[in-house]
Structure 1
Amino acid sequence: MQLNITGQSLLLEGRKYSREEIIRLSANIPQGASPFLQDLYHFLADWFSDSPFTTVHTSGSTGTPKVLTVRKEQMMQSARITCEFLNLRAGDTALLCMPLQYIAGKMMVVRALVAGLNLILRTPSGHPLADVTVPLRFAAMVPLQVFNTLQVSQEKERLCCMEILIIGGGAIDATLENGVRSLPGKVYSTYGMTETLSHIALRRLNGLSASSHYQPFPSVELSLSPENTLIIKAPLVCDEALITNDVAQLYPDHSFVILGRKDNIINSGAIKIQAEMVEEKLKSFISVPFAITSVPDIKLGQAVVLLLEEERDLVKMRNQINEVLPRYQQPKRILSVSHLPLTGNGKIDRAECRLLAERLLEPV
């Protein structure tokens, strides 16, 4: 592992670039370079600058996006931990198909710099394996990319040839989990956030080691706050303990499950309802994009609302909802919308969903 920035080089599409070459290229980006390649050059220019710090953007899935200043040393430690755990070695092909504005994309580049991985670039899209002919050992994708890949036989075949896949950036539903279960390579769901510089725990989704629990890396210590939200102590990547908004359950073997986010708890009639848990139950029969949110209610405090990207037979849907949800969790209103609000990296924008529901229910 190369943890000294001045000694790092980048193996890109099979060609090795020294630090000096990268700096020159970043200062004079080749004409005709794609926007994604330009983003890579800009990140590398910042990475090889004299500053020990760089900036990363949060997704804003639960509020206003933030810009965080982080130490490059900590990003390299995060990369080292992941590469050692997954046994990634110099020369291994690794697919970069995530936006470089966010931590997931940046960390793929840092892993390549630290471990000497051969980085294969594809502009972020819903079908990252559409034209990849190079055999890949490792890739990181969001759930939608994996789902789309499984729907196209040629792309699925390429995925089957991959040894290691990590999936992050969003919830993995039962359909996707079933879809990756038969893949021959190792497939993991990741748990982490921008503040932890990518993941601090992994959950195996297939094979004999498949589990419903996340297992933290050995250097990570977990506990729960009085509100049952996860507290993370990860001294190699975070200077201070991080109190998350993720409601969790810890187990004696140090593994954990995430039940949902504290800010997604709806207090309706003095009963606390976790929006993600309701959504998980509704996924059994709702195939279009949807979200559970809430609006202020004089009687209940907050009323549960279902936002749906499609006009549906409400009588039929009500009957289906009655079968899977107890009365106190059932949406008081079902609202059809043209598009669910999303953040820049494709997650449901929870804050905007609440505002949208309120606007749609305002008296005319």
Structure 2
Amino acid sequence: MTLSEFMNEWERPTDYISVKTSGSTGTPKEINISKANMRRSAEITCRFLGLHPGDTALLCMPLDYIAGKMVVVRSIVCQLQLISVPPSNRPLETLTEAPTFAAMVPSQVYAILTENGRQAHLLRQIKHLIIGGGAIQPELHKLLQSWPATSHVWSTYGMTETLSHIALRQLNGPNQSEWYTPFPSVRVASNAQNCLVISCPWAINPLLVTNDIAEVNAEGKFRILGRIDNIICTGGIKIQIEKVEQLLISYMDKLGIHDFAITSIDDKQYGQAIVLIYCGPREILVTNPHAREQIHDLLPQYHSPRYFVATKEPLPTTGTGKPARAAIKELAKKSLI
């Protein structure tokens, strides 16, 4: 979707617009969301970040999804000057000065900082940079510590159903935290399955039960531990996919593998068997018993992959850059037949 197409849809005399979900756990779907609630969400974000009329906002994400749409809505509602560039890993390439506000996904920020050129300098001058659509890995978090005190970097928590983020946590400076702070009008809790439950006035459902496993503290802040649909049950033991991936990141980096995932296949004996799938040569892991033994030693009991799969192509991702878990699982299954 182009900016002009979105503006045409926004200006139509209708109360709703159609938005695609990300499809991180399956096929993306279209849902209708209220324009009035989008305005309310935009106002709260601008108020929280202290954005003022005339401040500049960078649009560098696809307009097919809620994150990109909300950048435009914030610029309309809060009278920000919108700077639109094509979505890419070099979104600041044509800019001569940093915008006041920008929203990016982790892969964009990481690409800019590892290149460490003029774009990295501009990135560090953005007063408020929000990062969403994926987990903040340790290496990226480390790169974010070189920010000037006048610039703030935030990790966002939200989804299409909440019209973008409903909570933020700071990633740099003295106030950085691993706990998300909900906006004042948002309340969170966890249910019997430890899934996050969100009470948000502008969400599609006022009470939204998510698939995110979360810990909620006494202050009403929360941190995400994984997804309930990303649990592998092998031999009666429940394994959280994200936990295994987190434990393996450093070692996989040493092996030169930056594109990998944990998934599972059905197993007659154990119910499910853990699979490590990666983009790279078979010699790195599939036919390397020493490396596989190192992985076994790094992980807790019962968490080690039973199978290793190497692919020549990058692992499937969604339109917003998240791992496409269902497609990754199917790829592993086909590779092991």
TM-score greater than 0.5 by the shorter chain = yes
Q: Secondary structure at the match of 2:173?
A: coil
Partner of 1:360 in structure 2? 335
The CA distance in 1 between the partners of 2:189 and 2:306, in whole Å, is 35
Partner of 1:324 in structure 2? 298
Are 2:21 and 1:58 equivalent residues in the alignment?
yes
**Aligned ranges 1:1-364 → 2 under 5 Å:** 39-152=2-115, 153-184=117-148, 185-287=151-253, 288-311=258-281, 312-313=284-285, 314-338=288-312, 339-362=314-337
Superposed displacement of residue 235, structure 1: 1.1
| Aligned partner letter, 1:302 | Q
Residue by residue over 1:151-208, the C-alpha shift from the partner in whole angstroms, topping out at 9 and shown as x without a partner, is: 2221111112111100001111000011112212100000000000000000100101
Kept after mapping to 1: 8 A contact 2:163/2:202: no
Kept after mapping to 1: 8 A contact 2:157/2:180: yes
Residue by residue over 1:94-142, the C-alpha shift from the partner in whole angstroms, topping out at 9 and shown as x without a partner, is: 1100000000000000000010111111100011112211331110000
The CA distance in 1 between the partners of 2:232 and 2:169, in whole Å, is 27
Residue by residue over 1:275-322, the C-alpha shift from the partner in whole angstroms, topping out at 9 and shown as x without a partner, is: 011101110121320000000011110100001101214223213312
Q: Which stretch has the larger CA shift, 151-160 or 85-94?
A: 151-160
Kept after mapping to 1: 8 A contact 2:97/2:122: no
Q: Determine which structure has more spread, i.e. the larger CA radius of gyration.
A: 1
Superposed displacement of residue 240, structure 1: 2.6
Kept after mapping to 2: 8 A contact 1:103/1:194: yes
List structure 1 segments (4+ residues) > 6 angstroms apart after TM superposition.
none
| Aligned partner letter, 1:240 | P
The CA distance in 2 between the partners of 1:59 and 1:95, in whole Å, is 21
The CA distance in 2 between the partners of 1:316 and 1:74, in whole Å, is 55
Q: Which stretch has the larger CA shift, 192-201 or 156-165?
A: 156-165
| Aligned partner letter, 1:187 | V
Q: Secondary structure at the match of 2:252?
A: coil
Kept after mapping to 2: 8 A contact 1:77/1:237: no
The CA distance in 2 between the partners of 1:181 and 1:241, in whole Å, is 36
The CA distance in 1 between the partners of 2:79 and 2:55, in whole Å, is 8
The CA distance in 1 between the partners of 2:28 and 2:295, in whole Å, is 34
Superposed displacement of residue 360, structure 1: 1.0
Kept after mapping to 1: 8 A contact 2:263/2:274: yes
Q: Secondary structure at the match of 1:305?
A: strand
The CA distance in 1 between the partners of 2:23 and 2:119, in whole Å, is 31
Residue by residue over 1:1-59, the C-alpha shift from the partner in whole angstroms, topping out at 9 and shown as x without a partner, is: xxxxxxxxxxxxxxxxxxxxxxxxxxxxxxxxxxx7xx111111110110011111001
Kept after mapping to 2: 8 A contact 1:219/1:236: no
TM-score under structure 1 length normalisation: 0.87
Q: Which stretch has the larger CA shift, 49-58 or 233-242?
A: 233-242
Residue by residue over 1:317-357, the C-alpha shift from the partner in whole angstroms, topping out at 9 and shown as x without a partner, is: 21331232013000001100122111222221100111111
| Gaps in structure 2 of 5+ consecutive residues | none
Q: How many pairs does the alignment contain?
A: 325
The CA distance in 2 between the partners of 1:190 and 1:180, in whole Å, is 15
The CA distance in 2 between the partners of 1:289 and 1:236, in whole Å, is 36
| Aligned partner letter, 2:270 | L
Q: Secondary structure at the match of 1:327?
A: coil
